[in-house]
Amino acid sequence: MNIFDLFHAGGLDYVFTSPLLLVGLVFQVWMIVHAIRHREWGWVVFMVIFSVFAAFWYYLQVHRASPSTMHGFELPGAQDRRRIKELQAQIHHLDKPHHHLQLGDIYFQRGKLTLAETSYRAALERDSQDLDARAHLGQCLLRQKRALEARPFLESVCAENPKHDYGHSLMALAETQAELGEAGTAMATWKRVTDSHSYARARVQLAELYLARQQSEPARSLLQEVLTDAPHGPTFERKRERIWVRRAHKLTRHLPPPPRA
């Protein structure tokens, strides 16, 4: 049954008396709205014609690989399929390192990490000293659970420019160190970040390391800063840091009570 069938005589009445069909309709509409927002016009037509089965296929192929899978780990970069085609054409004709880098950033944002890695490595083959390509490749490897491979790229970038990508490269280095079990080194790196930036991502992960050492008071202070600042940032920042604010709420609920004065 496609979406038009529901407008036949009695169609909607039948749907509302069938919980399974109602769930399917809601899911289909959800996927269609997502496709419209991301300009996936071919998928919109496909889902309208072929109903919930096409919606489920869209969910597997597109929705799960959308930028939402990378919440909290954003890189600069566009997300438009038209831009991907433009960059692929420029690479075909010009083969410049920055085109490979920009393509890698788009793939990273869309959660296509294998394609992103390929593009970053292609950029480095053409310019091995490019800070952005090295940093973004390091981040890409980290998100693929390959922290050991990521570390030399991130270390070299942060040694040259600790403020690279507005502190995002330094945050990725701290996450890499934590992933490799280097908690003390990671804490020192996170402190470097929080000394210069107010990212919830940095404060929450530093708080988690404090809590792992049973140091609840510095953790409490950091988490309170996150919760206090959360409502006051610009819209794009609140959206980016939402995952970290939720984690701060969760951690705060499990903190021991503060010591009495």
pLDDT digits (tens, 9 = 90+) for 76-132: 443 467 788 889 999 989 999 999 999 999 999 888 999 999 999 999 999 999 999
The pair of three-digit structure tokens given for residue 9, joined into one six-digit string = 């005589």
Task: Verify that 78 and 173 share a domain, yes or no.
Answer: yes
Task: Verify that 185 and 87 share a domain, yes or no.
Answer: yes
Task: Verify that 106 and 10 share a domain, yes or no.
Answer: no
What span, in angstroms and rounded, lies between the C-alpha atoms of 5 and 218?
Answer: 60
The per-residue pLDDT for 6 is 47
List strand residue ranges (DSSP E) for 56-205, in order.
Answer: none
Task: Verify that 137 and 187 share a domain, yes or no.
Answer: yes
What span, in angstroms and rounded, lies between the C-alpha atoms of 184 and 9?
Answer: 68
Task: Verify that 46 and 106 share a domain, yes or no.
Answer: no
What span, in angstroms and rounded, lies between the C-alpha atoms of 116 and 224?
Answer: 36
pTM of the model: 0.70
Task: Verify that 248 and 173 share a domain, yes or no.
Answer: no
Task: Verify that 207 and 254 share a domain, yes or no.
Answer: yes
Domain of 121, CATH number, reads 1.25.40.10
pLDDT category, 200, cuts 50, 70, 90?
Answer: very high
Give the number of domains in the chain.
3
Task: Verify that 205 and 222 share a domain, yes or no.
Answer: yes
Task: Verify that 7 and 112 share a domain, yes or no.
Answer: no
Q: 164 versus 19: which is more confidently predicted?
A: 164
Task: Verify that 107 and 156 share a domain, yes or no.
Answer: yes
Q: Which amino acid is at 13?
A: D
Of 152, 175, 194, which residue sits at a domain end? 194
Task: Verify that 184 and 209 share a domain, yes or no.
Answer: no
Question: What's the mean pLDDT in 220-225?
Answer: 97
Range of the domain at 22: 3-65
CB 111 within 8 A of CB 200: no
The pair of three-digit structure tokens given for residue 61, joined into one six-digit string = 């192929």
Of 171, 194, 217, which residue sits at a domain end? 194
Task: Verify that 137 and 180 share a domain, yes or no.
Answer: yes
The pair of three-digit structure tokens given for residue 205, joined into one six-digit string = 């992960």
Of 194, 220, 248, which residue sits at a domain end? 194
Give residues with Cβ within 8 angstroms of 20, minimum separation 6.
Answer: none
pLDDT category, 135, cuts 50, 70, 90?
Answer: very high
What span, in angstroms and rounded, lies between the C-alpha atoms of 23 and 12?
Answer: 13
Question: What's the mean pLDDT in 233-244?
Answer: 85
| Total residue count of the chain as it appears in this document | 261
pLDDT category, 42, cuts 50, 70, 90?
Answer: confident
